[in-house]
Chains A and B, each alone.
Chain A
Amino acid sequence: AQSVTQLDSQVPVFEEAPVELRCNYSSSVSVYLFWYVQYPNQGLQLLLKYLSGSTLVKGINGFEAEFNKSQTSFHLRKPSVHISDTAEYFCAVSGDRLNAGGTSYGKLTFGQGTILTVHP
């Protein structure tokens, strides 16, 4: 089974300060990793994804994340946050899963979310 743990449910930070949102995962198979952002009463928007290659992944809005296989982590970082970054952030893992017919459907498992609040 695969699982995702986001270590902080809420992260308050002042504008222009750096921020790190922590994500740990567990899986018995190789995984792909994602970070999504959700603004109030909206759907999820893909921030970045790790599929293979360089362990440092850059995404939209100045965010980046580092894949650490030995620590099974995929923490999200931004060097300087803005008020507009206030939102909920979800880490997700895609492991290879088979449906009843034996076909891979790439199940996405989400963490519980981290609410980032940027104060002026």
Chain B
Amino acid sequence: DGGITQSPKYLFRKEGQNVTLSCEQNLNHDAMYWYRQDPGQGLRLIYYSQIVNDFQKGDIAEGYSVSREKKESFPLTVTSAQKNPTAFYLCASSIRAGFGQPQHFGDGTRLSIL
């Protein structure tokens, strides 16, 4: 079955540490997205990528970095500069970026601070 795989499901970060969240899709989608979910705030866009080797900042990119070296992979690094990283992180993809494209989601990674 095609889908989006996020790993790990749970992740703990120590102070001053960078951590990387994995997102892999086998849907052959061009566009991929990272969202942060906090209780009562909906989803906020961190970064998105319309095509391989290209990515753009979303609404809350500070303290995060991404890469898109392969079509199927879009890892997110939460750097030590992100002072409040505790949240549920969701990766999504769509056939292509653009107006009206529905997005398909992975099952998320929950990041907590040790």
Shortest Cβ distance from A87 into chain B, in angstroms?
A: 14
Residues of A within 8 A of B102 (CB): 34, 46, 49
Main secondary structure of the interface of B (DSSP, over half): strand
Residues of B13-50 at the interface with A, using a CB-CB cut-off of 8 Å, are 31, 33, 40-45, 48, 50
Bound CA–CA A60/B24 (angstroms): 26
Write the chain A residue with the least CB distance to B105: A43
| Size range of the chain B interface in the assembly | 20 to 34
A43-B6, A46-B103, A112-B40 are known contacts; what are 16 more A-B pairs with Cβ within 8 Å?
A: A41-B107, A42-B108, A43-B106, A44-B90, A45-B105, A94-B101, A104-B97, A105-B56, A105-B98, A106-B97, A106-B99, A106-B100, A108-B103, A110-B43, A111-B42, A112-B41
Residues of A within 8 A of B68 (CB): none
Bound CA–CA A113/B100 (angstroms): 20
How many residues of chain A get a CB closer than 8 Å to chain B's CBs? 29
Contact A94 B100 (CB under 8 A): yes
Contact B56 A110 (CB under 8 A): no
Contact B108 A43 (CB under 8 A): yes
Bound CA–CA A34/B104 (angstroms): 12
Q: Does B110 make an interface contact (CB < 8 A)? A: yes
Bound CA–CA A43/B94 (angstroms): 15
Bound CA–CA A113/B44 (angstroms): 12
Bound CA–CA A109/B24 (angstroms): 23
